[in-house]
């Protein structure tokens, strides 16, 4: 046994599994040529943001469009940052947007697939196997430097104004310990971390062809980075390289804040004898704030948090479509040409992704969601609004479940028509939309537009009550409204009004508006005839009478 082997045995006596055995346990995947294997690899810190969802979506699209696999790996090597149920929160967050992984972690204690465990805290033996291998090859060594020694080192570097700081070159005190010194310290139980013996040369460059950013060029890594912490837990850099190799990842999709770590990652892959994956570094999602582009911020922008979309009740397919417009700007043209195709058919391309960061625009997200909801059947709108209300608006849920058919009839108004209305962007808009159909939550407000006088409105409503017949079909109903115009000084002809406005108090639109306000307290609603039919004669008469009283007071 040479010195390195003796050291490796001393450091990892219990590790008997070999890299060759692991290669065999996790063979190359049997996938079609060109299939991409991607992973979403978050830490369970409890906060999922839209950037995470966006990156998971890019993982999924890469896998789906190439017949590959997208898996979920949990990077929980930093136990301090972990929150309770952090894993289920991640899985549910993905599920909520339909970005469910094909493989990997499937819940707090659930996994699927042959490349696991998919949770880093359960892969200790695997990391130690590769750590042992590096020690055997002289590529890693134990470092016994204490916190105080390391801060002294930093101070010295500060004092010297060293251009590069850290544990490298002549600062690597523990690199040169002899085997005897190492063994002595280990046997005395001295705490240590395992460091990489970097073979990097500062004057040499590495080159990486990123699929979004293009060719990246950086100096080689010269730092003896930590591979295993003093508790034997790997650092992210080391663990992810082992995992991406053994899980046979072909494409690493992640935030571009990781570009700075590429020299370390590329070096680790090389020294471990692994082929590096292809890289897809995504720019952060940006926002326009007073004309300036800035990153979305946790403090200022509630729309950054994934929980916001659930609480507001955004339809997941709408959010997904919006994210696709951010991913590939040609998505919108494709959608216009293929209005009913499932999004899975969209020919996504990584190459068309923005290099500088897509701009997130909530107003546009709302428009897309309105389109989605406007194309749903009344039944679906009812079901989904109900599901949301059950969790977030119990009063509305109570009203819906007490009379489901009534609620469905509300959503059916003006729905199956060539140009359906687009009033609802998210389920939290529904209360406002249906409010006047429910006397329990309706607050009448007969305020008129400025161009209509209270006395005239009162006259319109009084005349209307005399001719109103709940049994009238839409045509008769409307001809009756027209019929009210002339005797009250309005005209049934809008064009006539426009050419001769002085001659009239208003036109038939104003007369309908008065009735609409009396019945719904709104100037803009779906088809009024249908609304009145659904409310029923008693309610309509009572609301109009109420409005007449209100106008009487106003008109005095
Ligand atoms: N665990 C890392 C993170 O949460 C993942 C980085 C990567 O995807 O390689 O950012």
Reported confidence tier of residue 354, pLDDT bands at 50, 70, 90: confident
- Evaluate if residue 555 carries a pLDDT over 70: no
Q: How far apart are CA 92 and CA 106, in angstroms?
A: 9
> Is residue 554's pLDDT more than 80?
no
* Alpha-carbon separation of residue 355 from 49, 207, 260 (angstroms): 20, 18, 16
How far is Cα 141 from Cα 288, in angstroms, rounded to an integer?
Answer: 49
pLDDT at position 287 is: 93
Q: Which atom from ligand 1 is nearest to the alpha carbon of 236? A: 1
The strand pair at 69-72 and 103-107 is best described as parallel
Phi, psi (5° rounding) for residue 287? -140, 145
pLDDT band at residue 108 under the 50/70/90 scheme: confident
85: confidence class by pLDDT, cuts 50, 70, 90: confident
Is 75's C-beta closer than 6 angstroms to any atom of ligand 1?
yes
Residue 425, C-beta contacts closer than 8 angstroms, at least 6 positions apart: 314, 318, 366, 367, 369, 370, 373
Closest residue CA from atom 2 of ligand 1: 42
Q: Indicate the pLDDT class of residue 390, thresholds 50, 70 and 90.
A: very high
Ligand 1, atom 9: closest residue by C-alpha: 254
Pairing of strands 286-289, 292-295: antiparallel
Per CATH, domain 288-374 is 1.10.1160.10: yes
Which residue has the CA at smallest separation from atom 3 of ligand 1?
A: 42
pLDDT in tens, 295-334: 999 899 999 999 999 999 999 999 999 999 999 999 999 9
Could you tell me if residue 290 is left (phi over 0), alpha (psi between -120 and 50 degrees) or otherwise beta?
A: left
Fill in the DSSP letter of residue 243. Answer: H
* Predicted confidence band of residue 363 (pLDDT cuts 50, 70, 90): very high
Q: How confident is the model at residue 183 (pLDDT cuts 50, 70, 90)?
A: very high
Nearest atom within ligand 1 for CA of residue 75: 1
Give the pLDDT band (50/70/90) at residue 512. very high
Q: How far is the CA of 134 from the centre of ligand 1 (A)?
A: 23
What pLDDT shows up at residue 551?
A: 86
pLDDT at position 119 over 90: yes
**Is residue 556's pLDDT more than 60?**
no
Helix 404-412 to helix 394-402 angle (10° resolution) is 100
Domain 288-374 in the same topology as domain 3-16+124-282: no
Whether residue 222 contacts residue 250, with contact meaning beta carbons closer than 8 Å, is answered with no
Say yes or no: CB of residue 254 within 6 Å of ligand 1.
Answer: yes
Residue 316 contacts residue 99 (beta carbons within 8 Å)? no
Nearest CA to ligand 1 atom 4: 42
Domain boundaries, the chain: 3-16+124-282, 288-374, 378-436, 454-555
Centre of ligand 1 from the C-alpha of residue 295, in Å? 18
Q: Is the pLDDT of residue 47 over 90?
A: no
Strand 490-491 and strand 506-507: pairing? parallel
* Mean pLDDT of the chain, nearest integer: 95
Longest Cα–Cα distance of the chain, Å, equals 112
CATH architecture of the domain with residue range 454-555: Orthogonal Bundle (1.10)
Nearest protein CA to atom 10 of ligand 1, as residue: 42
Residue 252 · residue 278 · CB < 8 Å: yes
| Nearest-atom index, ligand 1, CA of 240 | 9
Domain 3-16+124-282 has CATH 3.30.43.10: no
Residue 41 Cβ < 6 Å to ligand 1: yes
Q: Which of 285-289, 303-307, 509-513 has the highest mean pLDDT?
A: 509-513
User: What is the Å distance from ligand 1's center to 41 Cα?
Assistant: 5
φ, ψ of residue 370 in degrees (nearest 5): -60, -45
Q: What is the mean pLDDT of residues 386-394?
A: 98
Calculate the CA 540 to chain-centre distance.
Answer: 44
Q: pLDDT for 443-491, tens place per residue? A: 999 999 999 999 999 999 999 999 999 999 999 999 999 999 999 999 9
Q: Is the whole-model pTM more than 0.85?
A: yes
pLDDT band for position 268 (cuts 50, 70, 90): very high
């Amino acid at each position: 046994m040479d010195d390195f082997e003796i050291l490796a045995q001393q450091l990892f006596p219990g590790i008997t599994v070999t890299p060759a055995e692991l290669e065999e346990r996790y063979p190359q995947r049997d996938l079609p040529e060109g299939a991409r294997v991607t992973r979403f690899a978050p830490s369970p810190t409890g906060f999922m943001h839209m950037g995470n969802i966006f990156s998971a979506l890019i993982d999924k699209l890469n896998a789906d469009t190439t017949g590959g696999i997208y898996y979920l790996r949990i990077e929980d090597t930093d136990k301090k940052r972990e929150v309770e149920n952090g894993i289920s929160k991640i899985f549910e967050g993905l599920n909520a947007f339909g970005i469910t992984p094909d493989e990997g972690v499937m819940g707090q204690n659930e996994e699927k697939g042959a490349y696991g465990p998919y949770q880093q805290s359960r892969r200790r033996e695997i990391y130690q196997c590769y750590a042992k291998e590096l020690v055997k090859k002289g590529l890693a060594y134990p470092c016994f430097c204490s916190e105080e020694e390391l801060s002294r080192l930093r101070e010295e570097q500060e004092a010297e104004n060293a251009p590069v700081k850290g544990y490298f070159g002549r600062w690597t005190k523990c690199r040169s310990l002899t085997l005897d010194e190492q063994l002595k310290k280990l046997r005395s139980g001295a705490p240590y971390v395992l460091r990489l013996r970097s073979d990097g040369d500062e004057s040499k460059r590495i080159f990486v062809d990123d699929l979004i950013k293009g060719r990246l060029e950086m100096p080689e890594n010269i730092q003896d980075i930590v591979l295993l912490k003093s508790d034997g837990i790997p650092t992210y850099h080391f663990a992810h390289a082992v995992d991406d190799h053994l899980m046979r990842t072909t494409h690493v999709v992640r935030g571009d804040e990781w570009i700075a770590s590429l020299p370390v990652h590329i070096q680790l892959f090389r020294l471990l004898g692994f082929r590096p994956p292809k890289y897809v570094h995504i720019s952060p999602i940006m926002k326009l704030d007073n004309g300036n582009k800035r990153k979305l911020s946790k403090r200022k922008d509630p729309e950054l948090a994934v929980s916001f979309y659930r609480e507001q009740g955004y339809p997941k397919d709408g959010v997904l479509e919006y994210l696709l417009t951010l991913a590939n700007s040609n998505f919108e043209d494709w959608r216009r040409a293929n209005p009913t195709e499932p999004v899975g058919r969209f020919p996504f391309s990584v190459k068309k992704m923005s290099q500088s960061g897509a701009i997130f625009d909530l107003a546009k997200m709302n428009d897309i969601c309105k389109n989605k909801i406007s194309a749903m059947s009344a039944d679906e709108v009812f079901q989904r609004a109900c599901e949301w209300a059950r969790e977030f608006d119990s009063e509305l849920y109570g009203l819906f479940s007490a009379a489901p058919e009534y609620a469905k009839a509300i959503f059916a108004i003006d729905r199956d028509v060539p140009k359906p209305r687009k009033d609802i962007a998210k389920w939290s808009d529904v209360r406002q939309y249906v409010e006047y159909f429910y006397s329990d939550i309706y607050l009448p407000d007969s305020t008129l537009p400025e161009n209509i006088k209270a006395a005239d409105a009162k006259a319109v409503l009084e005349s209307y009550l005399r001719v109103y017949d709940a049994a009238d079909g839409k045509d008769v109903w409307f001809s009756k409204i027209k019929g009210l115009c002339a005797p009250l000084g309005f005209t049934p002809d809008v064009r006539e009004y426009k050419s001769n406005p002085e001659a009239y108090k208003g036109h038939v639109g104003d007369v309908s508006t008065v009735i609409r306000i009396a019945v719904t307290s709104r100037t803009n609603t779906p088809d009024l005839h249908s609304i009145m039919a659904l409310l029923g004669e008693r309610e309509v008469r009572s609301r109009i009478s109420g409005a007449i009283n209100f106008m009487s007071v106003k008109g005095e």
